[in-house]
Each structure stands twice: as structure tokens, then as C-alpha cells.
Amino acid sequence: MKLGYTLMGLFCLLIIALTGCTSEDQVAGNLSGKNGNILRLFNWNNYISQQTIERFEQTCQCRVTQDYYSDNEELLAKLAAGATGYDLLVPTGDAMDTLIHQGALNVLDKSQIPNLKNIDPSYLGTVFDPDNRYSVPYAYTTTLIGFNREKLAELNLPTDSWAIIFEPEYLKKIKGRITVLDSQRELMAAALKYLGYSASDTDENHWQQAKALIIRAKPYWAAFSNTSYIRELAIGNLWVAHGYSNDMYQAALDAKKTGRRFSVDFVIPREGAVLSLDSMVLHHSGHRPDLAHRFINFMLEGKNSAELTNLTGSGNPNLAARPYIHPEIIANHAIFPDTAQLSRLEMLHDINHTQRRLLSRIWTEIKLR
Amino acid sequence: MNKFRLTRWLISLPPTLFLLIFFAVPSLIMIVTSFRFPGEYGGLAPLTAPETTAAEGDSGLYGMTLEAYHFFFSDILYAEIFLKSFVVATTSTLICLIMAYPVAMLIAQSAKKYRNLMILLVVLPFASNFLIRIYAWMIILGPESAFSHFINSVLQAFGFEPVMMLFSPFAVLVGTVYVHLPFMILPLYTNLEKHDPVLLDAAQDLGANRWQRFWLVTWPQSLPGVFSGSALVFIPVLGMFAIPDILGGTGDILIGNLIKDQFLGTRDWPFGSTLSIMLMLAVLCVTGLFTLLARPRVPR
């Protein structure tokens, strides 16, 4: 019993100590000026080079802090749950669509962003933000197929079609060595593309066809995986993975660096695929729109933008960045698609809640069967 | 006496309030949420917009609706997931029990000076992060690992097909059992430690053999420990989502994963809340059952 009282006492002390700490922090924050001359970024994991940040901190005489998310759902969920104080977000098109409709974004002052002229016009004026009132393109990825080149050549399998992840005649040779994305929208998009529909198709009949296709292929898949496929491809546990181009770039780089006897390659399927364009937007909860605008303009400078692509292997809509990007990345058509491929890429549109619930039900059925 | 009671109340008031507020308020929010309409872009539909919700064929009352519950009960799919989660949780609990009992007995019967060290060793894995331990299993069970090569070479020697251990229901069970084993060992040990060895001597004197002594003397006395250990394993396993996400294959979806999906991918708060409430009711039923069973049989 005595022990119980001691513990309770300790607990009370702990509470006092903790609350004490926070108020001290706030005082410190207020002392260092109006919101501390800090630019607060809410960004993807590993989506900016440390050198770029340091250079910006020097030019603006400010500090950059970053919080990270690993997918758009996480970003939206955290903002919906009340995360505030972010000056800049970097959402993908469909998530940005949602944020615009929620009224969560501030309109950009383009007079402060002269470098906007560097952006390839084909990446401006997307359906989500036709006049780029809210958004400036940052970088893009494609959703495609990554594979172990030597293994697939040995098995004589096609690598340029979604058939490799959906057709049992190919799948039976790579059973248990293939993963697909654990994302309702992305996997449906791949199946819809393979069936010849639009990636953003919302026709329920087409969804049911896609579901049947997925359930037929599922027994051959090892898992639904959003991140672990990078490592597993690079060490040779997986032979095929459905995933993002920048992740595949990392996997290919890892396999090369560790001197594996195989190489990882990735190709945009000929049926077409999903293009995810990430844009910089101002969140309404931000305290420093001035710094945010400066940062956007800074990131649009060719050299700074190129650093991102050289680090992560993301696609880059910035024409001024081209001269600074490693030539082997520019030459990779899975990262910088040619015009013919570009015409087959599609951005995902946001869907309404009735469609989301239906899709979730289909997804649950896919997982359970 | 009166004064003592007052002090006791005063001291226990803050933690009681803490528990009450931080349990009751979120639960209430969840219950209310489950009766609301989902918002067009995630979150909840505003309470004062009956026109927009009427289009869904259910006008609702003051923006409140049973729609999410209707959706849950109109589809056998969700009952199947509950059933599946119960099967996984029960299996993990049984495996934990079978593995933990001998360990707990060993600790309880060893010399007092070693007991604390052994308990420390049981608890030691908690010193490293849960996710790191699960990722470690990914490496151990992976197809190119030494462990996998060993198992598969043994299987091949007997003429069986090689197996893929990672991304399977087996891997999920390994993960859950590994993580929750200490939660079974500790209550069992606390119980077994208190057993009076005189009872075993008496049983021996009355002619009971080793097996009868365990089954008729030790086991019935240890039941409260068995039940509290089982509850500590069963309930967390029922709601977990990280282990099937990381180690599971294409079919390993549990209620936890489904609930997570509702709040992330689908942004359907009302349905996610409904699922959580259903899970809570299920857990309450099971806990009630365990408490009933865990009551000491022998009146003291």
C-alpha cells in the first residue's frame, strides 16, 4: 500500500514537471521574436536535401524546421486532427484538391515568386488548381514496376506491362517474390489501367472488374507493401514490386552500392500509370507566409531544385534544374518520361465519401479473400 | 479512521480523475462520431447541413444517423474480420500460455537470488523499440536469411517444397507471440510464486504422482494467473495492426488494420468509430468473462 502512495506521489511530480517544461518552452519561443523567425515545413520523408536547407537558412537568416509524413493520407489525417502552425505543405494533387476544397490553403502572391517561369508549362495548370492560385509544382513520381533485371531475363518475363503483376501465367514463376502497394487508390489504378480504363475511373462495374482481377492475382503476391519493398528488392528477396519511381531509384542505388550480383531496374508500363505531382502550398495556419514565399522562390532555382532530384531520384518539373541533374537520371525514362509516355500518365483525382466507402469495402474484401 | 479515509480519497483523486477524463471523454467523442455523417472531404459533415446528407437517401435527425451501424450490420464481411481477429487472438493466447507456463514455473521454483535476474531477462526485450524488434523478425524470417535456408534445406531433405515464412499468417503469429509472451509470463509467475509447497508434499503423501500433483494441485491454483495473463495477451492482440502490416501477407487483415484504414485511406470517421465501438464491446465481453473466471476458486 505504501508503495502505491509513493508511486502516486511520483506521478503527480511527473505531471508538474512535464507541464512546467512546456510553459518554459513557450516562453523561450516567444522571447526569440515573432514566432522565432522559423519556417515550418510539413514534408515527405527524405524529400529535401540537407544542403539546400542549410543554404536557405543562410540566405534568409532564419531557421527551417521539418515534420514528416509518409503518405498523403497521413498528411490529411494529421491536419484533420488539428495539426497547425505549418507554413508549407507538399501534398500530391488529389490531396491538394481536398485541401483546396476544405479551404485550408492560402492564395499565393505570384509577384514574390518570379522563378515560377522555370517550371515546365506542361506541369502547370493541373485540373486541381487550373491557374496555380494555390500551388507551385515541386517534384513528381510515377507509380510503376521495379524488378530484378537478371532474374526476370532468366525467367523470360515481360517487364513493360502490368501483366507481370496481374496475369497468373507470369505470376506463377515469381510466386511469393512480388509485392504490390498497400494503397487502395494506387492498386486499383494499376488494375484499371491494365483493363484499359482511366486510373481515376469511378464506375462501380469497372471497380468490380478490377477487384476480380486483383483477387485472381493475389495468391501469387507475397504482401501488400508500401516501404519495405525498397530494401527487399535491393537485397534480392523480391523480384518484382509495384511502387514509386523514387523508391525504385533508391533500391537500384542500394543494390549497386552494395555490389549485388544483380541490378534493380524500373519501367513505366506501356498501358500507362499514375503520375503524382507534389506541389508546394501555403497552409492557412502558417505564421510566416513571407518566409514561405521566399522558400518557394528559392526552391525553384535550378540548382536547389536539382539537388532534390540528385538525392531522391524524383522527377523534376523545373526546366532550369536540368543542367544540374546527373545525366544518368535525366536519361532514365522512368524518371523523366518522354512525350509518348507522358501522354499515358494520369494524375489521380479525389473521390467523394460514398465512393471512398465503396472502395474501402472492395478493399476489405480483397484483403479478406 | 475517518481521517485516513479522507487522505486516501484525496491522494487517489488525481489519478482517478486522470483515468476518468482521458478515458471517458475520448470514448464519448467516439460514440457521438459514430452517429454522424462523414464529411465530403473526410472528417465529419457539419451538423447543420441536412440538405446535403438527404441526397444519400437518409435524411438523419439533427445530422445524426444510424447509417454507419447499418453499413456494419448489413455486410457479413465485417463479421468475418471480427471472427478472424478472434481466431488469431485466441491462437496467440494459447501459444503464449503453453510457452509461458514452463518458464514461469521454472522461475518460481528456482532459488530466490536468481529470480529477480530471470524476471529482468524476461522484461529486457522491452528496452528496445517494439517496431525495431518486429523489423528484426522480418530479417530472421526473410527468404534469404540463414534461418530460412536452414528450415528449407531440412524440408528439402525430406522431400518437401521450400516454404516462405515471411509475409504469412505464421509470421504474424510469431510476431504476436514474441511481443506478448512477457505479458503472460509475469502474471503466471506472480501467481505460481505464492503457491505453498506444503500442498504438493501433502499430495505426494496421499499418493499423487508427478502429473496428478500438477493437474490437481498446481493448475487449479494457478487459474487466476492464467486468466489475467490471457486477458493481457488476448485484448491487445485483438486490436493490433502493426504486426500484420509488417509481417503479414496478402490476407492478414485484422480489425485493427480495418479501423486504421477508415481513419487514413478512407477518411471515414463515423464508420471507423463504429468499428472501434464494436471492438470495445467485444473486448468488454471478453474481459467480463475473464474476470468472472479469474475469481479465486478457494474462499480464503
CA distance B69 to B46: 19
Sign of CA dihedral B262, B263, B267, B268: positive
Across the interface, of A5, A357, A365, the residue whose CB is closest to B11 is A5
User: Per residue, what are the HEC states of A270-306?
Assistant: CCCEEEEEEEEEEECCCCCHHHHHHHHHHHCCHHHHH
Q: Mean pLDDT per 10-residue run, chain B (300 residues)? A: 80 90 91 88 69 49 82 91 94 96 94 92 91 92 88 90 88 95 96 91 91 91 92 92 90 91 87 94 86 65
How high is the pLDDT of residue A36? 75
Residue with cell 457539419: B46
Residues 201-230 of B with CB under 8 A from A: none
Say how many residues make up chain A: 369
Q: Residues of B with CB below 8 A from A363's CB?
A: 261, 265
Q: Residues of B with CB below 8 A from A9's CB?
A: 11
Phi, psi of A206 (to 5 degrees): -65, -35
Q: From first to last of the 369 residues of chain A, give the pLDDT tens digit.
A: 344 444 444 444 444 444 444 433 443 444 344 557 999 999 998 899 999 999 999 999 999 999 999 888 889 888 988 889 999 999 999 899 999 998 999 999 999 999 999 999 999 999 999 999 999 999 999 999 999 999 999 999 999 999 999 999 999 999 989 999 999 999 999 999 999 999 999 999 999 999 999 999 999 999 999 888 999 999 998 999 999 999 999 999 999 999 999 999 999 999 999 999 999 999 999 999 999 999 999 999 999 999 999 999 999 999 999 999 999 999 999 999 999 999 999 999 988 888 999 999 999 999 988
What pairs with residue B50 in β-bridges? Answer: none
What pairs with residue A136 in β-bridges? Answer: A280
Burial of A229 (0-12, 13-18, 19+ CB in 10 A): buried
**Does the CB of B133 have a partner CB in chain A at under 8 Å?**
no
Locate all alpha helices (DSSP H) within B35-168, ordered by sequence.
50-54, 67-73, 76-109, 112-123, 130-141, 146-157
A-chain residue closest to B83, CA distance: A368
Question: Could B40 and A101 be called an inter-chain contact, meaning their C-beta atoms sit closer than 8 Å?
Answer: yes
Question: Could A352 and B40 be called an inter-chain contact, meaning their C-beta atoms sit closer than 8 Å?
Answer: yes
Question: Could A368 and B266 be called an inter-chain contact, meaning their C-beta atoms sit closer than 8 Å?
Answer: no
**C-alpha cell of B231?**
486477458
Residue B57 region by backbone torsions, left for phi larger than 0, else alpha for psi between -120 and 50, else beta = left
Q: Quick one: chain B helix, strand, coil %, rounded to 5?
A: 75, 0, 25
CA distance A332 to A329: 5
Q: Residues of A with CB below 8 A from B245's CB?
A: 182
Q: With beta carbons less than 8 A apart as the criterion, state whether A89 and A283 touch.
A: yes
Burial of B111 (0-12, 13-18, 19+ CB in 10 A): exposed
A-chain residue closest to B80, CA distance: A368
Q: With beta carbons less than 8 A apart as the criterion, state whether B199 and B46 touch.
A: no
Q: Residues of B with CB below 8 A from A219's CB?
A: 250
Residue with cell 545525366: A327
Q: With beta carbons less than 8 A apart as the criterion, state whether B177 and B169 touch.
A: no
Cα distance from B163 to chain A (closest Cα, Å)?
10
Question: Could A183 and B265 be called an inter-chain contact, meaning their C-beta atoms sit closer than 8 Å?
Answer: yes
Residue with cell 463504429: B274
**Does the CB of B248 have a partner CB in chain A at under 8 Å?**
yes
Q: With beta carbons less than 8 A apart as the criterion, state whether A240 and A148 touch.
A: yes
Question: Could A222 and B39 be called an inter-chain contact, meaning their C-beta atoms sit closer than 8 Å?
Answer: no
Across the interface, of A11, A102, A218, the residue whose CB is closest to B250 is A218
Nearest to A117 by CA among A312, A330, A317, A341: A317
B212-219 long-range contacts, CB within 8 A, separation 24+: B218/B105, B218/B192
Cα distance from B121 to chain A (closest Cα, Å)?
24
How high is the pLDDT of residue A297? 95
How high is the pLDDT of residue A196? 95
Cα distance from A98 to chain B (closest Cα, Å)?
6
Q: Residues of A with CB below 8 A from B38's CB?
A: 353, 357
Q: Residues of A with CB below 8 A from B78's CB?
A: 364
Across the interface, of B12, B248, B265, the residue whose CB is closest to A360 is B265
Cα distance from B182 to chain A (closest Cα, Å)?
23
Q: Which of B29, B266, B269, B274 to mutate to test the interface with A (most CBs of A within 10 A)?
A: B266
Across the interface, of B38, B251, B265, the residue whose CB is closest to A353 is B38
Q: Which of B17, B41, B274 to mutate to test the interface with A (most CBs of A within 10 A)?
A: B41
Q: Which residues are within 8 A (CB) of A260 and not within 5 positions of it... i.e. 6 or more apart?
A: A234, A235, A236
CATH architecture of A141-274+349-368: 3-Layer(aba) Sandwich (3.40)
CA distance A336 to A317: 9
Cα distance from A107 to chain B (closest Cα, Å)?
20
Question: Could B77 and A218 be called an inter-chain contact, meaning their C-beta atoms sit closer than 8 Å?
Answer: no
Would you tell me which CATH number, out of the four given (1.10.3720.10, 3.30.390.50, 3.65.10.10, 3.50.50.60), belongs to the domain B72-294?
1.10.3720.10
How high is the pLDDT of residue B48? 62
**Does the CB of B169 have a partner CB in chain A at under 8 Å?**
no
Across the interface, of A218, A222, A235, the residue whose CB is closest to B164 is A222
CA distance A89 to A99: 10
CA distance A341 to A273: 9
Cα distance from B19 to chain A (closest Cα, Å)?
13
Q: Residues of A with CB below 8 A from B246's CB?
A: 228
What pairs with residue B195 in β-bridges? Answer: none
Q: Residues of B with CB below 8 A from A183's CB?
A: 265
Query: Hey, where are the domains in chain A?
Result: 30-139+276-335, 141-274+349-368
Sign of CA dihedral A219, A222, A227, A229: negative
Q: Find the angle CA(A175)-CA(A179)-CA(A184) to the nearest 5 degrees.
A: 130
Q: Residues of A with CB below 8 A from B39's CB?
A: 353
CA distance B168 to B248: 5
Q: Residues of A with CB below 8 A from B56's CB?
A: 354
**Does the CB of B264 have a partner CB in chain A at under 8 Å?**
yes
Say how many residues make up chain B: 300
Beta strands in chain A (DSSP E): 38-44, 63-69, 88-89, 105-106, 135-148, 178-180, 223-224, 240-244, 264-267, 273-283, 345-346
B-chain residue closest to A98, CA distance: B41
Across the interface, of A223, A353, A360, the residue whose CB is closest to B261 is A360
Question: Could A360 and B249 be called an inter-chain contact, meaning their C-beta atoms sit closer than 8 Å?
Answer: no
Instruction: Give the C-alpha distances (Å, rounded to integers) separating A255 from A216, A236, A259.
Output: 31, 9, 6
Q: Residues of A with CB below 8 A from B272's CB?
A: none
Q: With beta carbons less than 8 A apart as the criterion, state whether A63 and A18 touch.
A: no
Query: Hey, where are the domains in chain B?
Result: 72-294
Cα distance from A318 to chain B (closest Cα, Å)?
30
User: What CATH superfamily classification does A30-139+276-335 receive?
Assistant: Periplasmic binding protein-like II (3.40.190.10)
Cα distance from A218 to chain B (closest Cα, Å)?
7
CB pairs under 8 A between A and B: 112
